[in-house]
Chains A and B, each alone.
Chain A
Amino acid sequence: MISFNIWSLVFTIVNLIVLFLLLRKFLINPVNKVIQEREEMIHNTISSANQTKEEAMQLKKEYETTISGVEAECEDIREKSRQEAKNEYTRIMNEADLKSNRMIKDAEKSIEMEREKALSDMESQIADLALAAAARIIGDSSDDDKNQALYDEFLKKAGETHDTENC
């Protein structure tokens, strides 16, 4: 039952070493390698995911600051444009006021001038008419002396009437 056999012992040791080498080559090393590769892959994936997340958070923060800045800027611009519009409005209104006043004044002035011009025209026309009328009344018997006397008389009268008017 218990029979020692040195050859069996030696063979078993050799067998064990051979089996160890074979199993290490065919079983343990490949499996461990795959497991290690997977662990590395998982590690890489997680670290890259974390990195991406961090970057995303960074970007988000940037965007948030940008957006809040933009909002403030918008408000600024709105306020400014409102102010500008108001200024422009008042400026235009003032200008229009001035312009219309000036135009009214100009118109008044030109009317005045027109009136004066018309008056003087009328004066000269009246003088001509008077002259013509006088000439017709006097007829052919007119010489220069008489004419001159008549002129003077007329002018005097006209001047008197004018003077009285003015006074």
Chain B
Amino acid sequence: MRNTDLAAELTEELNCKTIFTIPIFGGIPITESVIVTWIVMAILVLLSVIFVRNLKVENPGKKQLVLETIVTTFNHLFEEVLGEKGKAYVPYLITVILYIGLANIIGIFGFKPPTKDINVTAALAIMSIVLVQISAIRNKGAKGWAKSFAEPVAVIAPLNVMELVIKPLSLCMRLFGNVLGAFVIMKLIEVVVPLIVPIPLSLYFDFFDGFLQAFVFTFLTALYMQEGLE
């Protein structure tokens, strides 16, 4: 009896519900993940607006120092991988790492993490691979980009073309699997031992794993871009 309850509850939790439907084009469903993404966006933009106000060149306050440290840490992290040519793509990567980071830990505020929805991670991965290809085309030109598939030898060209799908698929699935796994485990633990025990485990599964996956996702995107920027 209890087992079926738990299973039903979990399935319920794992389903990405459609909150409402926009009644055009035969109904556009707005899912929970999209709503939570909006919340994440709102939080990020609001925090930015609040903390970025009154930036001072001289004698920055503590808040400004923390903010600058965060931004410069990410800047250095990605610039080191991308090099001078890839500077223009750093802001996008910072956006993605902030978004995934907050999306992964938003579960502790009672929302379902949007990264638990495979459509969101797929969208992120598609954006990444598109950006990787755009940066490569902009760097090498369309011809150079097309030729780069036949490098280092022409025989492996099919493999290189397959990578166009494999890379984003691995990005998408890694993020989705990690967040889903963490979410399921945390739910199970909360059902079994609802007191105290979930706290350290939540620190690991939500915070550590969440930030780690955000880092891995963006870092891998940067690495793929660096291949095209060489």
Contacts and interface: CB of A to CB of B under 8 A. Distances in A.
Contacts of A30: 52, 55
B29 A28 contact: no
Interface stretch (B38-46, B161-169, B198-206): B38-46
Interface stretch (B113-121, B189-197, B218-226): B113-121
B57 A27 contact: no
Contacts of A18: 41
Contacts of B41: 15, 18-19, 22
Interface stretch (B88-96, B134-142, B208-216): B88-96
A31 interface: yes
Given A19-B95, A34-B57, A12 B120 contact: yes
A5 B30 CA distance: 10
Interface residues of A, number: 33
Interface stretch (B1-9, B64-72, B104-112, B149-157): B64-72
Given A19-B41, A20-B95, A7 B29 contact: yes
B55 A31 contact: yes
Contacts of A34: 55-57, 60, 64, 68
B104 to A, nearest CB: 15
A8 B16 contact: yes
A19 B122 contact: no
B38 A4 contact: no
Contacts of A8: 16, 29, 31, 33-34, 117, 119-120, 123
A16 B99 contact: yes
A20 B185 CA distance: 32
B118 A31 contact: no
DSSP majority for the B interface? helix
Contacts, number: 117
Contact of B96 (A6, A16, A26, A27): A16
A42 to B, nearest CB: 10
B71 A1 contact: no
Interface residues of B, number: 47
A28 B30 contact: no
A83 interface: no
B98 interface: yes
A9 B41 CA distance: 16
Given A19-B95, A35-B72, A7 B123 contact: no
B122 to A, nearest CB: 6
A141 interface: no
28 contacts: A4-B119, A5-B16, A7-B28, A7-B29, A8-B16, A8-B29, A8-B117, A8-B120, A11-B37, A12-B33, A13-B126, A15-B37, A16-B95, A16-B96, A16-B124, A19-B41, A20-B91, A22-B48, A23-B45, A23-B98, A28-B71, A31-B52, A31-B71, A32-B71, A34-B56, A34-B64, A34-B68, A37-B57
Interface of A: 1-13, 15-16, 18-20, 22-24, 26-32, 34-35, 37-38, 41
Interface of B: 11, 14-16, 28-31, 33-34, 37-38, 41, 44-45, 48-49, 52, 55-58, 60, 64, 67-68, 71-72, 75, 91-92, 94-96, 98-99, 114, 117-120, 122-124, 126-127, 180
Given A15-B38, A19-B41, A34-B64, 11 more contacts: A3-B16, A4-B118, A6-B119, A8-B31, A8-B34, A9-B120, A11-B30, A12-B33, A12-B124, A26-B48, A38-B57
